[in-house]
Structure 1
Amino acid sequence: MSLRTLYSEEKEEGNKVTVKACLHSETKKDTVVEEIVGSISLEKEVTAIGWKLVTVPNHIIHSDEL
């Protein structure tokens, strides 16, 4: 599994930032992603977290497509 893109955007509401990461893997890695998301969700500053699986053969997904 590798990190393809990492995007962050400061929100207008104040001290909030949206972070999007695009990962690439040749095989399905749901368990690994769940562990990463679970670890991040334990941080007190994190107010929401989620992930989705996108399968697009031969296509690089850019952060604005998520």
Structure 2
Amino acid sequence: MISRLKLMDFRCYGSFSWQIPQQGAIILGNNAQGKTSLLEAVCFRCACNPRAPPGPARWPLTESRPSASAES
């Protein structure tokens, strides 16, 4: 289970850190507020290297070098 999500220059988030409650969370919001981007960040982190230890994962093809990290 993911306990923390931290984003840097990822989609609509310049900088974002979220300590996810142990009992889980429901993401609610209006359209175009970043809900899908949060889920994409988790998928992005897992797809970059699913066996990597917790820490930053970086997309190598952009100048801004977005990063997403998840702790479990």
The answer to whether the superposition gives a TM-score over 0.5 is no
Which is bigger in relative contact order (C-alpha 8 A, separation at least 6)? 2
* Structure having the higher Rg: 1
- Please report the TM-score for the alignment, with normalisation by the length of structure 2: 0.29
